[in-house]
Amino acid sequence: MPEIFYMSATDLAAAIRSGQLSAREVMAAHLARIEQVNPSTNAIVTLHAEQAMQAAAQADEDQARGLPLGPLHGLPVAHKDLLLTKGMRTTFGSRVHERFIPAKSALAVERQQQAGAISIGKTNTPEFGAGSQTFNAVFGATRNPYDLSLTCGGSSGGSAVALAAGMVPLADGTDMGGSLRCPANYCNVVGLRPSPGRVPQVPASDAWSTLSVTGPMARNVGDLALHLSVMAGFDARDPLAIDGDGARFRAPLARDFKGVRVAWSPDLGGLPVDPRVTAVLQQQRQRFEDLGCIVEDASPDLRDASEIFMTLRALSFELRLGPVMDAHPGVLKDTVVWNIEEGRKLTGPQVARAGKLRSLLFERMNRFMQTYEFLLCPVNQVPPFPVDQAYITAINGVEMENYIAWMASCYAITVTSHPALSLPCGFTDEGLPVGLQIVGRHHDDFGLLQLGHAFEQINPAGLRRPAL
């Protein structure tokens, strides 16, 4: 067998269930790996090692007694430090909540634990998940395992690094403007932004918002589907929750893609993209033709996406964090304060305009996706950059207007409400990971996983591990 800490989640679950490995052996291997590589990467910021070993012993005892076993029985998981985790420090990457220990868990965390997963700790995130670079005043920066001088992306950066470095087989995250997709891209793992409502948001400060979602991360698409299968499923407390049993995502992912039309868009209609990213993506176009797909150059009409996203994001920051800023003046980082202040400047007509433009954008995107079943495009417009650089200020000589503008390739997809998958694609000449973003039809999360699975069968990029 490969090293236990780099076995797939699916294989680990099967090995535990068959008795080939015990949950204690699996947990001990991952805790040893954390001790080995976490000091240099700073991915896991709160660790409950003793409790995790006790839970693993209980998992083995339950199995010996013949009790029912969940799909994730005995698997170590780590939770993004934005997700409430009962009895485990949850800081949101902010000094405001530096010592906060929740009395309840978020639904996504509860569902993983109910499926048999063992929570080992929390993964690093920028303050309140703001920005696609993982650093904060509480824990510092998380480093890219493929080059420790570079960023891992964000805001689910700690989760991506923990996966890439073999610290856990599964990790969760959230995504507003790319926070599951960007770090997956930068760390050569798989991240899914599911359809809004696929993973119910409980609790939620704005239950009607479709911008931020919770989703799974893994090292391959099969593991990702397994993870999603326990996180997804209806819950009446979320008004946007999609009906249906999450177990459907454990169905076989194999599919014949002969004749399936896909759109190839290397710049999503004109975004500046670093030529190193374009070069890696272009090498993979033929792979989809090898799968039988009909690949055509085409881009959806995403005009107004930036205005929509910036307006709705600012509104969200004021709703969620305005009171926090007022109660703790001078504590929040500058970019969070800026977002809140932008929200306070909004007028009724501006918000109304964003809603109208978003409806029109969805109509255009939906029509486009009737012609093409999938859209292939960049995840990030640039490769990983220095860890001490807060954000990208220019791409190909084009100045970025704010600290998140360089993530337009992700947030333009966010506002369409279509599911999107980031999966390993290849490496630059410097050895830096580049991911491919696959966008699926409205609510077709399963089809997205099927194409991602087919692609990774003929592209081994995701098997390359960092040399830590």
Confidence of residue 81 (pLDDT cuts 50, 70, 90): very high
Residue 157, both tokens? 């950066």
Please write the tens of the pLDDT for every residue from 230-256: 999 999 999 999 999 999 999 999 999
Residue 150: inside a domain: yes
Alpha-carbon distance of 379 to 369, in angstroms, equals 18
Tally the domains of the chain.
1
Q: What is the pLDDT of residue 293?
A: 98
Residue 174's Cβ-side half-sphere holds a number of Cα atoms within 13 Å equal to 29
Please write the tens of the pLDDT for every residue from 24-49: 999 999 999 999 999 999 999 999 99
Domain range for residue 256?
Answer: 4-463
Read off the CATH number of the domain in which 381 is found: 3.90.1300.10
Please write the tens of the pLDDT for every residue from 272-317: 999 999 999 999 999 999 999 999 999 999 999 999 999 999 999 9
**Amino acid occupying residue 434:** V
Q: Which residues pair with 262 in a beta bridge?
A: 295, 374
Residue 249: inside a domain: yes
Residue 328: inside a domain: yes
Give backbone dihedrals phi and psi of 16, rounded to 5 degrees, phi first: -70, -45
Residue 33: inside a domain: yes
Please write the tens of the pLDDT for every residue from 113-166: 999 999 999 999 999 999 999 999 999 999 999 999 999 999 999 999 999 999
Report whether pLDDT(2) > 70: no
Please write the tens of the pLDDT for every residue from 400-450: 999 999 999 999 999 999 999 999 999 999 999 999 999 999 999 999 999
pTM: 0.98
Residue 193: inside a domain: yes
Q: Would you please indicate which residues are annotated as catalytic (active-site) residues? A: 80, 155, 179
Please write the tens of the pLDDT for every residue from 251-269: 999 999 999 999 999 999 9
Three-state DSSP string of the chain: CCCHHHCCHHHHHHHHHHCCCCHHHHHHHHHHHHHHHHHHHCCEEEECHHHHHHHHHHHHHHHHCCCCCCCCCCCEEEEECCCCCCCCCCCCCCHHHCCCCCCCCCHHHHHHHHCCCEEEEEECCCHHHCCCCCEECCCEECEECCEEEEECCCCCHHHHHHHHCCCCCEEEEEECCCCCHHHHHHHCCEEEECCCCCCCCCCCCCCCCCCCEEEEEECCHHHHHHHHHHHCECCCCCCCCCCCEHHHHHCCCCCCCCCCEEEECCCCCCCCCCHHHHHHHHCCHHHHHHCCCEEEECCCCCCCHHHHHHHHHHHHHHHHHHHHHHHCCCCCCHHHHHHHHHHHHCCHHHHHHHHHHHHHHHHHHHHHHHHCCEEEEECCCCCCCECCCCCCCEECCEECCCCCHHHHHHHHHHCCCCCEEEEEEEECCCCCEEEEEEECCCCCHHHHHHHHHHHHHHCHHHHCCCCC
Q: What is the mean pLDDT of the chain?
A: 98
Residue 161: inside a domain: yes
Residue 468: inside a domain: no
Q: What is the pLDDT of residue 1?
A: 52
Residue 31: inside a domain: yes
Report whether pLDDT(399) > 70: yes
